[in-house]
């Protein structure tokens, strides 16, 4: 059977924006004078995709969040809805790293 596959690539900045907007919209504003947050994407030991969000906090401390694959997928799906990127409801959705970008892979069986 033919299968349609779509890849939607997100830069680290776009992932950061989606995660913050999905979870705690005010997180990046608390202590904003300390510095802007940054995001690192990485693969876990079992092959899942995860992220580490770091934001300088005060003089030397760093506030850190580590959303897992489920949180990242939910945030990106919400972001796609907000940006009106149409995705099939029944399609299988997965995340994978492609270079320094995060790819939302959507597979749809066309039968």
Per-residue pLDDT of the chain (111 residues; tens, 9 = 90+): 778 899 999 999 999 889 888 876 555 555 555 567 788 899 988 888 989 888 776 666 677 778 888 999 999 999 999 999 999 888 899 999 999 999 999 998 766
Q: Which pTM does this prediction carry?
A: 0.79
Ordered by start, the domain boundaries in the chain are: 3-109
Give Cα 19 distance to the centre of its chain: 6
Query: Among 58, 75, 63, which Cα is nearest to 23's?
Result: 75
In terms of C-beta density within 10 A (0-12 exposed, 13-18 middle, 19 or more buried), how is residue 64 classed? exposed
């Amino acid at each position: 059977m033919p299968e349609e596959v779509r890849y939607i690539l997100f830069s680290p900045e776009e992932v950061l924006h989606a995660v913050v907007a999905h979870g705690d919209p005010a997180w990046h504003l608390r202590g904003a004078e300390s510095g802007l947050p940054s995001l690192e994407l990485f693969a876990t030991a079992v092959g899942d995709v995860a992220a580490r969000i770091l934001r300088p906090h005060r003089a030397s401390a760093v506030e850190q969040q580590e959303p897992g694959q489920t949180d990242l997928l939910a945030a990106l799906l919400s972001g796609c809805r907000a940006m009106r990127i149409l995705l099939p409801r029944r399609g299988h959705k997965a995340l994978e790293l492609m270079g320094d970008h995060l790819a939302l892979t959507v597979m749809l069986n066309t039968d």
